[in-house]
Amino acid sequence: MPNKAVLAALIGSACEAASLALLYQHDSSAAVVGLYLLLHLASSALFALTLAALMPQRYRHPGTWLLCYLLVFNFFMPLAGPLCTALALAVAALWPKDHAADHFETTDSPAFVTMRRREGSGFRGNRVRAQLSNLSTPLDERLNALVAIQNTPTRSSGDSLRNLLADPADDMRLLAYGILDAKEKRITQRIVDMRAHLLSVSDPETRALLHQQVAELYQELIYQNLVQGDLLTYSCDQMREHARASLAIDSDQPGLEFMLVRLELTSGNTVAAAAALQNAYEHGFSRTRLLPYLAELSYLERDFEQVRRLFIEMEFDPSVSSTPQLHRYWRHGRRNYAHRPDIARRGPT
Amino acid sequence: MNQASPLPPTAADPYARRAADCDVMLLLEGTFPYVSGGVSSWVNQIIRGFPEIRFGLCFIGSRPQDYGSPKYALPDNVVHLETHYIHAHLAAPKVVRSGGDARAFGRMHELHDMFRHPGVDSADQHHELTALLAELTPLMNDGQALDQEAFLFSKQAWDYLAQQYRTFCSDPSFVDYFWTVRIMHLPIWTLARVARNMIPAKCYHTISTGYAGFLGSLLKMQTGRALLLSEHGIYTKERKIDLFQSEWIRDNRNVFEKDASQIPYFRDLWIRFFEALGSLCYQASNHIVALYETNRLRQINDGAPAERTRNIPNGIDLPRLARLRAQRPEKIPPVLCLLGRVVPIKDVKTFIRAMRTVVTQYPEAEAWIAGPEDEDRAYAAECHAIADGLGLTDKVKFLGFQRIDELMPKIGLVVLSSISEALPLVLLEGFAAGVPGLATDVGSCRQLIFGLSEEDQALGAAGDVVGIAEPQALANAALALLTDPDRWHAAQAAGIARVERYYTQDMMFGAYRALYQDALGQQERAPRPAALRCPVKH
Please state, in angstroms and rounded to a whole number, the distance separating the CA atoms of residues B8 and B369: 39
Q: Are residues B324 and B190 in the same domain?
A: no
Interchain pair B390, A234: CB under 8 A: yes
**Cβ within 8 Å of A, B 231-250:** 237, 240-241, 244-245
Whether the CB-CB separation of A259 and A216 falls below 8 Å is answered with yes
- The more confidently predicted of residues A41 and A326 is A41
Q: Are residues B205 and B77 in the same domain?
A: yes
The answer as to whether A50 is a domain residue is yes
Which range has highest mean pLDDT (A69-78, A179-188, B221-230)? B221-230
Any idea what the CATH number is for the domain that residue B439 is in?
A: 3.40.50.2000
Q: Are residues B331 and B283 in the same domain?
A: no
B321 three-state secondary structure: helix
Residue A71: other Cβ atoms inside 10 A = 20
Which structural domain, as residue segments, surrounds residue A46? 3-98
Residue B257: other Cβ atoms inside 10 A = 12
The secondary structure of B520-537 as a DSSP string is HHHHHHSPPPPPP---S-
The answer as to whether B535 is a domain residue is no
Number of domains in chain B: 2
Which distant-in-sequence residues (6+ apart) come within 8 Å of B342 by Cβ? B348, B369, B371, B372, B373, B375, B376, B379, B380, B383, B398
**Interchain contact B419–A (C-beta under 8 A):** yes
The answer as to whether B114 is a domain residue is no
* Count of pairs with CB atoms under 8 A, one residue in A, one in B: 92
Which structural domain, as residue segments, surrounds residue B368? 318-503
Question: Given A166, A237, A238, which is nearest B467 (Cβ)?
Answer: A166
Asked if residue A116 has pLDDT above 50, the reply is no
Interchain pair A175, B244: CB under 8 A: yes
Reference B371, options B325, B326, B408, B402; nearest CA is: B402
Inter-axis angle of helices A287-300 and A270-282, nearest 10: 170
The answer as to whether A204 is a domain residue is no
Interchain pair B245, A179: CB under 8 A: yes
Please report the pLDDT score of residue A167 as a whole number: 83
**Cβ within 8 Å of A, B 322-381:** 344, 347, 353, 356-357, 378-379, 381
Could you tell me the maximum CA-CA distance found in chain A, to the nearest angstrom?
109
The answer as to whether A77 is a domain residue is yes
pLDDT, block means (10 residues), chain B with 538 residues: 42 82 96 88 94 97 88 94 87 79 92 79 74 88 89 93 93 94 93 94 96 96 94 90 84 79 86 93 95 92 93 93 94 95 88 92 95 84 84 92 91 93 92 96 93 94 92 94 96 97 95 95 61 41
B137 three-state secondary structure: helix
Please report the pLDDT score of residue A313 as a whole number: 83
The answer as to whether A321 is a domain residue is no
Amino acid code (one letter) for A68: C
Using a CB-CB cut-off of 8 Å, the residues of chain A touching B473 are none
- Nearest-neighbour CA in chain B from A147: distance (Å): 6
Please state, in angstroms and rounded to a whole number, the distance separating the CA atoms of residues B490 and B413: 13
Which range has highest mean pLDDT (A84-88, A140-144, B12-16, B168-172)? B168-172
Give tens-digit pLDDT for A309-326.
888 888 766 666 566 777
Question: Given A148, A174, A180, which is nearest B420 (Cβ)?
Answer: A174
Mutate to test the interface with B, among A129, A154, A177, A235 (most CBs of B within 10 A): A177
Whether the CB-CB separation of B4 and B19 falls below 8 Å is answered with yes
Provide the strand spans (E) within B420-476.
437-440, 463-466
Q: Are residues B344 and B492 in the same domain?
A: yes
- Nearest-neighbour CA in chain B from A139: distance (Å): 12
**Interchain contact B64–A (C-beta under 8 A):** no
- Nearest-neighbour CA in chain A from B257: distance (Å): 13
Please state, in angstroms and rounded to a whole number, the distance separating the CA atoms of residues B360 and B348: 19
Asked if residue A58 has pLDDT above 90, the reply is no
pLDDT band at A110 (very low <50, low <70, confident <90, very high): low
**Interchain contact A286–B (C-beta under 8 A):** no
**Interchain contact A163–B (C-beta under 8 A):** no
Interchain pair B353, A229: CB under 8 A: yes
Interchain pair B261, A162: CB under 8 A: no
Please report the pLDDT score of residue A233 as a whole number: 84
Closest residue in A to B263 (Cα) is A144
B63 three-state secondary structure: coil
Question: Given B245, B357, B389, which is nearest A178 (Cβ)?
Answer: B245
The answer as to whether A72 is a domain residue is yes
Question: Given A144, A177, A238, which is nearest B261 (Cβ)?
Answer: A144
Q: Are residues B263 and B366 in the same domain?
A: no
Q: Mean pLDDT for chain A? A: 81
Q: Are residues B333 and B480 in the same domain?
A: yes
Using a CB-CB cut-off of 8 Å, the residues of chain B touching A124 are 259-261
Using a CB-CB cut-off of 8 Å, the residues of chain B touching A141 are 261
Whether the CB-CB separation of B347 and B419 falls below 8 Å is answered with yes
Using a CB-CB cut-off of 8 Å, the residues of chain A touching B262 are 144
Whether the CB-CB separation of B478 and B335 falls below 8 Å is answered with no
Using a CB-CB cut-off of 8 Å, the residues of chain A touching B360 are none
Q: Are residues B509 and B499 in the same domain?
A: no
Using a CB-CB cut-off of 8 Å, the residues of chain A touching B356 are 230
Residue B514: other Cβ atoms inside 10 A = 12
DSSP B154: B
Asked if residue A95 has pLDDT above 80, the reply is no
Please report the pLDDT score of residue B526 as a whole number: 56
Whether the CB-CB separation of B184 and B270 falls below 8 Å is answered with yes
Amino acid code (one letter) for B427: L
Whether the CB-CB separation of B347 and B469 falls below 8 Å is answered with yes
Please report the pLDDT score of residue A73 as a whole number: 85
B396 three-state secondary structure: strand
The answer as to whether A60 is a domain residue is yes
Number of domains in chain A: 1
Q: Are residues B340 and B465 in the same domain?
A: yes
Whether the CB-CB separation of A258 and A285 falls below 8 Å is answered with yes
Whether the CB-CB separation of B56 and B38 falls below 8 Å is answered with no
Please state, in angstroms and rounded to a whole number, the distance separating the CA atoms of residues A219 and A210: 14
Please report the pLDDT score of residue A343 as a whole number: 39
**Interchain contact A234–B (C-beta under 8 A):** yes
Please report the pLDDT score of residue A336 as a whole number: 45
Amino acid code (one letter) for A70: L
Closest residue in B to A141 (Cα) is B261
- Nearest-neighbour CA in chain A from B460: distance (Å): 23
Residue A300: other Cβ atoms inside 10 A = 17
Question: SS in 3 state form for B181-216?
Answer: HHHHHHHHHHHHHHHHHCCCEEEEEECCCHHHHHHH
Q: Are residues B377 and B463 in the same domain?
A: yes
Reference B212, options B78, B31, B346, B433; nearest CA is: B31
Using a CB-CB cut-off of 8 Å, the residues of chain B touching A123 are 260
The answer as to whether A67 is a domain residue is yes
**First vs last Cα of chain A: how many Å apart?**
69
Q: Are residues B370 and B472 in the same domain?
A: yes
Burial class (CB in 10 A: 0-12, 13-18, 19+), B82: middle
**What angle is formed at CA B316 by the lines to CA B30 and CA B446, rounded to 5 degrees?**
85
**Interchain contact B469–A (C-beta under 8 A):** yes
Interchain pair B390, A162: CB under 8 A: no
Please state, in angstroms and rounded to a whole number, the distance separating the CA atoms of residues B306 and B326: 44
Q: Are residues B275 and B194 in the same domain?
A: yes
DSSP A70: H
Interchain pair A171, B442: CB under 8 A: no
Please state, in angstroms and rounded to a whole number, the distance separating the CA atoms of residues B21 and B5: 9
Q: Are residues B371 and B457 in the same domain?
A: yes
A87-96 long-range Cβ contacts below 8 angstroms, 24+ apart: A89/A51, A89/A54, A89/A55, A89/A56, A92/A56, A92/A59, A93/A56
Residue A34: other Cβ atoms inside 10 A = 10
**Interchain contact B471–A (C-beta under 8 A):** yes
The answer as to whether B18 is a domain residue is yes
Whether the CB-CB separation of B186 and B506 falls below 8 Å is answered with no
**How many CA atoms are closer than 13 Å to the CA of B227, on its beta-carbon side?**
26
